[in-house]
Amino acid sequence: MYNIPIMVNISRPVAAVIGATGYTGQELVRLLGGHPRVRLGFATSEAEAGAHVPGTSLRYVEASKVPLDGADVVFTCLPPGDSAAWSLKAHEAGARVVDLSADLRAGGHGAVYGIPELWRECIRGQSLVANPGCYPTGILLSLAPLLRAGLVDGSQPIVIDAASGVTGAGRSAKRDLLFGEVSEDYRAYAVGNAHRHVPEIRAGLARAAGGAAPPFVFTPHLLPVRRGILETMVVPVVQGVTAAVARETMRVAYGGEAYIDVLEDGLPGLRETVGRNVVAVGLADVDGVDGRMVLCVAAFDNLLKGAAGQAMQNANLMLGWPETEGIPA
């Protein structure tokens, strides 16, 4: 017997996470650790540079120390303003870039808006993608099939009540997010369509409708939980539309989608969606009111399908890989 050395090819595409110690950055580091086609080469943190990156053999580095021309795909997870700057630097260096901030969602610098289940072919092969916000993800995935099918009565506003866990506000220290402030409380904020995601929601609804966006009232709430989003939408519908009709429309629209779960009956909750890259949607009829309405409820993990998991879907499409690679359902 001869001892023949086994040659192992470790030359895989390299990923970089810019802003890897925030909640979303941490999730991306975890997902990349299990991805079969790409390896994490760089994870940045200004405050924790030199510290060990959990679950890897790497250490955090400052963003300025990352050789962007040596990265094949870059995820930017920085605050608004900073994120766009690094996204454009990485893009100019030749990397494919997924920006997870709000900076490029309006289409600036040629960025493509990335909800795969709605606009997959627009994302495939692109080099600069703006990852959607967490609240808009569930709203647009829930309402787009109804708008495309002409089931929504645009003469009345859609009422959207959305509640997010505290990780949706980021990891920076803020007094109103302290445990003593959040625990055993539940409150609305940025009311009256004042939330920063409203323009993104409006643009997405208009795109799905193929014209003007239907009127809507969006009220976000802070849930006293770590992660997860629950969105309750009261949707005015045209004559003859029931929850059953809306449900069948969604099932046809999302047939075969790995990360959309249209419930046959009942409404979803956080417990069955947190930790998974899935949006679960349930529908119900509304009785005893003037006008025709359908209740639509969406539940999902704000850090996965609302951020890092969807970013990985986008990256897979950009690189020509199967969309589900490295993403748990």
Q: CB-based contacts of 297: which residues, under 8 Å, 6+ apart?
A: 230, 231, 232, 233, 267, 268, 281, 282, 283, 284
Cα–Cα nearest to 160, from 190, 181, 117, 128: 190
Q: Is 122 a catalytic residue?
A: no
Closest CA to 225 of 196, 267, 186, 190: 186
Whether 186 contacts 161, CB under 8 Å = no
Q: How far is CA 121 from the centre of its chain?
A: 18
Tokens 């708008």 belong to which residue?
147
Query: 């709203």: which residue's tokens?
Result: 139
Contacting residues for 211 by C-beta, under 8 A, at least 6 apart: none
Burial (CB < 10 A; 0-12, 13-18, 19+), residue 290, is exposed
Determine which one of 77, 122, 134, 296 is catalytic.
Answer: 134
End-to-end, the C-alpha distance of the chain in Å comes to 45
| Residue of 1, 124, 26, 22 lying closest to 80 (CA atoms) | 22
- Burial class for 239, CB neighbours closer than 10 Å (0-12, 13-18, 19+): exposed
Residues serving a catalytic function are 134
